[in-house]
Structure 1
Amino acid sequence: MRVLVVYYSLYGHVHQLAEAIAEGAREVDGAEVVIRRVPETLSAEVLEKMHAVDAQKAQAQVPIAEVKDLAEADAIVFGTPTRFGNMCGQMRQFLDATGQLWAKGALVGKVGSVFTSAATQHGGQESTILSFHTTLLHHGMVIVGLPYSFAGQTKIDEVTGGSPYGIGTIAGGKGERHPSENELAGARYQGRHVASIAKKLTAG
C-alpha cells in the first residue's frame, strides 16, 4: 500500500508538514511512504529576490514529482501554500498536466487528502483545501480530511492551524513562524488516518 505525499513549499513550512504527514503514515503497518515535490516554476533570480533560496536548498534532497507517481500510489496527500485562498501556481500547473490520468480514470477510488499553510489565521486555509477538493473529485478520488478525533484542532489556548478539511500551519507575514507541535501532531494524525483508510480500501 503506497502513500504519496506531494507538495510545494516556498519557505519550508509546507515541507515540514509534509515530513510529519509521512511520519504518521509510516506508523500504519504495510504502508510504503514516498515524498515528492512539484517542479518549481520561479527562476533562480526571483527566488533570490524573495529570499527563498535557503529554504529551496533545504528541500533539494526531495525528488521532483512526476505525473506517473500519482497513478502508482494508493493514497495521495497534497500540500500547498495558500495563494489568495487557492492552491499555489506550481501545484496548479502540475495538476493541469494530469489530463491523461483523468482520461484513463487512473486515480478513481484512490484516497486524496490536502494540507496547507497561510501567512495569517484567516489567510485562506479552508478555502484553499476546499477548492483543491474540486480537482480531486474530478479525478474520482475518495476525499479524507482531519476528523475531530484529532482533539488538537479544537484548542483555543494557542494560535493553531487546521480544520476538519485538513491540517494547516500559520507562517506569519515574513515566514517567521514555523509549525507548532500541535500542528505537527495534526499532520502526523492526518497521515496516519489517510494510510489507515487506504489500507482498508486496498484490502477490500
Structure 2
Amino acid sequence: MKALILYYSMYGHVHGLAEAVAEGVREVPGCEAVLKRVPETLSPEIIEMMGATEVQRKLSHVPICTVDELPEYDAIIFGTPTRFGNMCGQMRQFLDATGQLWSKGALIGKPGAVFTSSATQHGGQESTILSFHITLLHQGMVIVGLPYSFAGQMSNNEITGGSPYGVSTIAGTKGERTPINNELAAARFQGKHLATIAAKLAK
C-alpha cells in the first residue's frame, strides 16, 4: 500500500506536518509514504519579496507531483496553508487540472485526508479543511478525518491546532511558531489512521 502526502508549504510549517504524517503512515506494516509538492505558481522574485527563498531552497529536495500520477497511490493526504479560509492558490490550480481523472473516475474509492496551517488560532483552519473536502467528494474519495480517539485534540492546557476534520498547526503572525508536539502527534496519528483504512480497503 502506497500513500501520497501531497502539499504546498511556503514557510515550512505544512512541510513539518507532512513529515510527521509520513511517519504515521510508515507505522502501518507494508505501507509506504511518499512526500511530494504541488508546483509553485509564484515567480522567484515574489518568493524573495515574501521572505521565503531560503525555506523554498531547503524544500527543493521534495519532488514535484504531476496530476497523472495520482491514481498510482492507494491513499492521498493533502496539506495546504489557509488562504482566507480556503486552500492556497497553488493547490487549487493543481486540483483544477484533475478533470481528466474525474471523468475516468480514477480516484473513486481512495481514502483522502487534509491538514493545514494558519497564522492565527482562528485563521480558517476548519473552513479550509471542510471546503477542501468538497473537491475530494467530487472525485469520489473516501474522506478520513482525525477521530477523537486521538485524545490530544481534547486538550485545553495549551494553544493547539487539530479538529475532527483534520490536523492543523498555528504558524504565528510572523511565522515564528513551529508545530508543537501535540500537533505533530496528531499528524502521525492521522497518517497512521489513513494508512490503516487504506490497507483495509486494498484487501
Range of TM-score over shorter length: over 0.9
Kindly indicate whether residue 4 of structure 2 is the aligned counterpart of residue 9 of structure 1. no
Shift of 1:129: 0.2
Q: Which residue identity is paired with 1:65?
A: C
Shift of 1:68: 1.9
The residue aligned with 2:109 is 109
CA offsets 1:105-151 (integer angstroms, 9 cap, x no match):
00000000000000000000000000000000000000000000000
The residue aligned with 1:67 is 67
Q: TM-score, normalised by structure 1?
A: 0.99
The residue aligned with 1:37 is 37
Mapping for residues 54-133 of structure 1, pairs under 5 Å = 54-133=54-133
User: 2:51, 2:166 → 1: CA distance?
Assistant: 28
Q: Which residue identity is paired with 1:202?
A: A
Q: Which residue identity is paired with 1:127?
A: S
| Structure 1 residues not aligned, in runs of 5+ | none
Shift of 1:33: 1.1
The residue aligned with 1:28 is 28
Tell me, what secondary structure is at the counterpart of 1:33?
Answer: strand
The residue aligned with 1:143 is 143
The residue aligned with 1:164 is 164
The residue aligned with 2:18 is 18
Shift of 1:69: 2.3
Tell me, what secondary structure is at the counterpart of 1:112?
Answer: strand
The answer to which of 82-91 and 64-73 deviates more is 64-73
Q: Which residue identity is paired with 1:24?
A: G
Runs of 4+ in 1 over 6 A off after TM superposition: none
Shift of 1:42: 0.6
Tell me, what secondary structure is at the counterpart of 1:128?
Answer: helix
Q: Which residue identity is paired with 1:57?
A: R
**Paired residue total:** 203
User: 1:144, 1:89 → 2: CA distance?
Assistant: 23
